[in-house]
Chain A
Amino acid sequence: MPLSVSLSIEGDTTVIELTGELDAKTAPDFHRTIEKAAGHGTHTVEIRMAGVGYMASAGLRSLVFAQQKVANDVTIKVVGAIEPVSRTIRTAGLDRSIVLSDE
């Protein structure tokens, strides 16, 4: 099940847009994009997930990796995640350090 990943910079925000399914097979693509995003040095990394219909714990691992890669003062936002995806993020307790936002 494919995942498309795009990376862009909008002002002081690095935007990663994901569409498709995030699981053990596709998460490595997300992982590589996070590595590039962390190198941009912007103050916010915004991960747009409205197009993600499914996320397994492999996706959580990528989000944890993102937290480890960016500087302490960088905000990581997950935007537009559908309810079961944000539930998975909350279950892992990642909503304490990642900003979950509807838009």
Chain B
Amino acid sequence: MTTVTDMVERARTSRVLDVPATVAALGSIASFVLRLAGAAGLDKGATYRLRLAVDELATNVVMHGYRGGDGRITVRGRSGPDGVQIVIEDSAPPFDPVEGRLPPAPGVPPQDRRIGGLGIHLALTSVDEFGYAHRDGRNISTLTVKAEGTDRCPPRP
């Protein structure tokens, strides 16, 4: 049986944001993520990592996914005592961030590197768990930052 308390609890911890895939909407996504991080009681470091990861992936969808055309991004979030899980969905062409990441190349001068792929690398090294699926024509990325997670500070390139 669903009690009023359960319903209130779900409303408090599960949220959805649907925005046009534009640079202007990135601020709304950031605010949405910061509210979820606050609800989960994430510390400053974990909050920063979560925001950075979602921002980089959403920016990538806006800049490269829809290639400047119209589109939408749906962000679902759940916060709980263990941390925050965010699901980012878009209907741009299939793109698996794990394959698209570009770790910093030691032999390449910084000015010659593709910063775009580096943004995805930043995102993937900022979260505790990451998953990608392509279903029903949609890219679905799932990111988790744990309340007691660790900052897996990537090795120097």
Contact of B23 with A25 in the complex, beta carbons under 8 Å: yes
- Cα distance A96–B69 when bound, in Å? 37
Contact of B56 with A57 in the complex, beta carbons under 8 Å: yes
**1/0 contact trace for A61-103 toward B, CB 8 Å?**
1001001100000000000000010011011111011000000
- Give the secondary structure class of B's interface: helix
Instruction: Give the interface size class of chain A.
Output: 20 to 34
B residues 114-157 touching A (CB-CB < 8 Å)? 115-116, 118-119, 121-122, 125, 153-154, 156-157
Among B30, B115, B153, which residue has its beta carbon within 8 angstroms of that of A87?
B153
Asked whether A57 and B156 contact (CB < 8 A) given A1-B30, A64-B115, A93-B110, the answer is no
Asked whether A92 and B104 contact (CB < 8 A) given A54-B48, A64-B110, A84-B45, the answer is yes
Residues of A within 8 A of B125 (CB): 91
Q: Does A9 contact B (CB under 8 A)?
A: no
Q: Does A52 contact B (CB under 8 A)?
A: no
- Cα distance A23–B57 when bound, in Å? 12
Q: Does A56 contact B (CB under 8 A)?
A: yes
Contact of B59 with A1 in the complex, beta carbons under 8 Å: no
Contact of A60 with B115 in the complex, beta carbons under 8 Å: yes
Residues of A within 8 A of B56 (CB): 56-57
- Cα distance A96–B109 when bound, in Å? 9
- Give the secondary structure class of A's interface: helix
- Cα distance A68–B113 when bound, in Å? 12
Contact of A64 with B122 in the complex, beta carbons under 8 Å: no
Residues of A within 8 A of B52 (CB): 54, 56, 84, 88
Nearest residue (CB) in B for A60 is B115
Nearest residue (CB) in B for A59 is B115
Contact of B23 with A94 in the complex, beta carbons under 8 Å: no
Residues of B within 8 A of A88 (CB): 52, 122
State the A residues within 8 Å of B (CB): 1, 23-25, 54, 56-58, 60-61, 64, 67-68, 84, 87-88, 90-94, 96-97
State the B residues within 8 Å of A (CB): 23-24, 26-27, 30, 45, 48-49, 51-52, 55-56, 59, 62-63, 104, 106, 109-111, 113, 115-116, 118-119, 121-122, 125, 153-154, 156-157
A1-B30, A84-B48 given; name 10 further pairs at CB < 8 Å.
A24-B55, A25-B23, A25-B24, A54-B48, A88-B52, A88-B122, A91-B118, A91-B122, A92-B122, A93-B104
